[in-house]
Amino acid sequence: MKSVADKLGMFLSGLCAIQCAMLPILLSVSAVVPSWAHLGHGWIWMSLIGAIALWSFGRGWKRHHDKKVLLFFILGYSSLVTATLLEDKVDIIIESALFVLGGTLMVVAHWRNYRRMQCLTTN
């Protein structure tokens, strides 16, 4: 179980970043997507990504105390939450950039946490 959380976190955060980078293209066909399909979408992602991050980084912090992992997590998750909060208030390009930045920083945080946990288990 020691690396499942980080692998799942890297996958979901990366998927989120890719999806949000493609959002402008997807919105061009949004006339065929019903409006209810967008309801709560961002908060579902934030809840899932946040829960996995807390599971993963909480376990990692107890072992390695790497402040960069927490910094990348805080910056990444803050960017994702900010993008979700500003979803209807900013241009789609800014929103997408915030989501991509946040997803990328979350992947970096999970990768660093994963590597630090590997170093501790091999020593």
Alpha carbon 59 to its chain's center: 18
CA–CA separation, 89 and 95 (whole Å): 9
pLDDT at residue number 1 = 45
First-residue to last-residue Cα distance in the chain: 18
Q: What string of pLDDT tens digits covers the 123 residues of the chain?
A: 456 877 888 888 777 777 766 766 666 556 555 555 555 567 877 888 888 888 888 888 888 999 999 999 999 999 999 988 888 788 878 888 898 899 889 989 989 998 888 776 655
pTM for this prediction? 0.75
The number of beta carbons lying within 10 Å of the beta carbon of residue 54 is: 13
pLDDT at residue number 26 = 65
Domain ranges of the chain: 4-122
CA–CA separation, 66 and 19 (whole Å): 29
CA–CA separation, 112 and 98 (whole Å): 21
